[in-house]
Structure 1
Amino acid sequence: MSLDLARALKRIEAGEIPASSLGVKQRRALDRFISETGGAVLERRGGGAVYRAKSASVISTHLARYRDDPELAAGQRAANLASNGSTKTGATGLGRCYPILRAVGGASWWNGTRRLSLTPDGEGAVGAMPIDAATTWTSKEPLWLVENQAMLEDLSWLPTDEPCSVMWYSGRLHGLVLGWLSRSQVAPRLFHFPDYDGVGLAEHARLQAAGVKCLGFHLAPGWTELLAKRGSRELWEITRRFAPPADTLSGAAAVVHEALAQSGKALEQEAAFLRSDHR
């Protein structure tokens, strides 16, 4: 991904933007992104036009790849130096990330003798976990990885009331998070609950390929009925290009891959709130 496209996608991620506010290179990069992925759209408005997001997961996936690319990150640091007089002002993509985590039922995280500081929020505690190349955070309770913020804010979809932690990763797992999860067993069980689409399946394939221990793919109760009734053909068309080959997946993830391919539909996580038995 080019720096021009990354800058344009960051603006679209925050809301629709007038086409006239973009430079020629950014518009060309964005138009190419639209034709190749369908992740954004250009709409005519009066005498002008605006760009807006069509698939947040596709955009966040592309931005995550930009942040993980050392050459592009270096380009961003050079741009920071030119415009701000410092490589550390603005986005840098350097060696630490801070995913948001919510712990319930007294779940806790330890990095050696250091306990992760979390702020009570009524249903447990929430905070940002600092992760770098040497991170060794571990917990005695299960960890859930969820793709969308709604699943972090409303935990009523959790299948049990046992103590656990829920981490939101927004589209694509940061390389540092993937490295942390693969270095050692961080929790007794690790459940991955993404959107059931090409992007979600691709992220699970990355977790499997990294050798993450005690990994499971969560099947939401009634997911086959939800896929039939609430599934989106448009979302599958947009994201299927990201889906990994079927033979790279195993277990429940392989079952979901087959169902999506056969139905031609994808299913967003939030459908879990639409079950008739939802608590």
Structure 2
Amino acid sequence: MYPYYPEIRRFPYLDHRHAQQRLTFVLVHGSWADARFWDDIAAVLRGNGHVVYTPEYAGHGGDPNKNVTHAMITKSVVDFITKLNLRDIVLVGHSFGGTVVQKAAEQVPERIKRLVFWDAFVLKDGESVVDEVPPQTRQGFEQLRASSRDDTIMLPFPLFRDLFVNTAALDVAKWIYASVAPEPAKPLFEKLNLKAFYALPTPKSYVYFYQDNVLPQGEGFGWNPHMSIRLGQFRLIVGDGDHMTDSRTRPAMVAQKLYEAGRD
């Protein structure tokens, strides 16, 4: 039955069809998105027996107030976790959400089983998000911020198409772009004190998709290993996808990678 993997006969838990370990996920989205980003992925995870929460944070979703700080965003997630008394959670951050996970972990470390960063920023102490993007991207963000009326940044479609959904067909790229809203700019430029984060012993994982083009590889930028190595000891899970497309087109694949990152 298993001609190439005879050890599975001796250890049935090695069979990928074996029931998944039941986990509790808290999924934190990134910039130019809201909690709906997780809908399809969460549905797959729930179908596999997991408990899944997708908190919304300040300045996003139905919140009309775009004058928010990184601390306000983090508070949204921390309050969600504490009010529901969630424990033993796998806290996942995607993209900008990685910085939220970093700060939230400082405040509720006893509630977290493992931290998972999916193509997510892992900032050094004292850094901001824009400190970790290429100079041309930062300049573009500054220009878009200056031209807005409410201190937000709205990605032009050509930029979004090439960086965020580069593997998508054009019609799929346009469909995803239709859900993009202006992003509050201030949290992207705030420098974060992360000394407490780097003292945490919490287990950590990094999920890296090879075709994610938001941060180009090389020249001092990129997701893995540039960001991931900052976690110290961590579990690396890789996949073939870009920054946003697969959350819509291949949610089962993403859900499996998050499970592999979060399981024992």
What TM-score do the two structures reach when normalised by structure 1? 0.29
From the CA coordinates, give the structure whose radius of gyration is larger: 1
Higher relative contact order (CA 8 A, sep 6+): 2
What TM-score do the two structures reach when normalised by structure 2? 0.30
